[in-house]
């Protein structure tokens, strides 16, 4: 077994835990629907986060050619999945509240700062991650990578700061559309 295959196991587990939390949260929403007041903005962010977890898993493969792994590099590469996992925890109420009434709009706005700060941290970590793969790799992604990530960061920080419902409604959809466009234009192949 090569180093990448060995190290990718833990990173895959952390990403899978995030996906599991999102799917379990959706399951709870369906299972206890009589005690759940859904909020469509929260539901869009559930989709956004799940898509981002899938994208993170997809792009992690780009580390497969790394010849020399150090403990520091491994810890650094583990930061992104950890951020997304923690965001998945914050996005849903605790699993123990299955018998309680949950208003997802109230939960969303009560936890939006932590959720969006965590999500915003992904962008600078991703910039460094991309640079660590080499300047040619960074430049090959083109200006759309830099522009897109800058827009992600600005939008996420703004979402962390504001409770303006109209902003959150619009940005949830914009983020989803932007992620689809970027996923199919910049990161569409495993290369």
Long-range contacts (CB closer than 8 Å, 24 or more residues apart) made by 137-146: 137/62, 141/186, 142/186, 144/182, 144/185, 144/186, 145/186
Cβ neighbours of 72 (radius 10 Å): 8
* Cα distances (angstroms) measured from residue 29 to each of 36, 43, 99: 6, 10, 11
Q: How many residues are given for the chain?
A: 191
- Model-level pTM? 0.90
pLDDT of residue 176: 96
Burial of 99 by CB count in 10 Å (0-12 exposed, 13-18 middle, 19+ buried)?
Answer: exposed
**What pLDDT tens digit does each residue of the chain (191 aa) get?**
888 889 899 999 999 999 999 999 999 888 878 888 899 999 999 999 999 999 889 888 878 887 788 999 899 999 999 999 999 999 998 876 667 888 999 999 999 999 999 999 999 999 998 898 889 888 888 888 889 999 999 999 999 999 999 999 999 999 999 998 888 876 666 55
Domain boundaries, the chain: 3-185
Rounded to whole angstroms, the maximal C-alpha distance in the chain is 53
Token pair for residue 51? 């898509």
Q: For residues 91 and 184, give the distance between their C-alpha atoms in angstroms, rounded to a whole number.
A: 26
pLDDT tens digit sequence for 58-114: 888 878 887 788 999 899 999 999 999 999 999 998 876 667 888 999 999 999 999
């Amino acid at each position: 077994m090569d180093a990448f295959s060995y190290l990718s196991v833990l990173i895959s587990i952390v990403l899978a835990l995030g996906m599991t939390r999102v799917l379990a949260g959706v399951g709870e929403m369906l299972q206890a629907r009589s005690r759940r007041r859904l909020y469509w903005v929260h539901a869009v962010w559930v989709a956004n986060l799940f898509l981002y977890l899938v994208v993170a898993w997809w792009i992690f493969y780009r580390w497969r050619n790394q010849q020399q792994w150090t403990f520091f590099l491994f810890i650094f590469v583990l930061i992104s999945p950890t951020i997304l996992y923690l965001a998945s925890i914050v996005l849903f109420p605790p699993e123990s509240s299955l018998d309680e009434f949950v208003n997802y709009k109230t939960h969303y706005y009560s936890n939006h700062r932590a959720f969006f700060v965590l999500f915003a941290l992904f962008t600078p970590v991703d910039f460094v991650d991309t640079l660590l793969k080499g300047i040619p790799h960074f430049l090959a992604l083109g200006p759309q990578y830099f522009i897109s990530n800058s827009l992600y960061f600005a939008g996420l920080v703004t979402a962390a700061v504001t409770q303006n419902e109209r902003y959150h409604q619009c940005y949830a959809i914009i983020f989803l559309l932007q992620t689809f466009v970027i996923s199919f234009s910049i990161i569409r192949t495993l290369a």
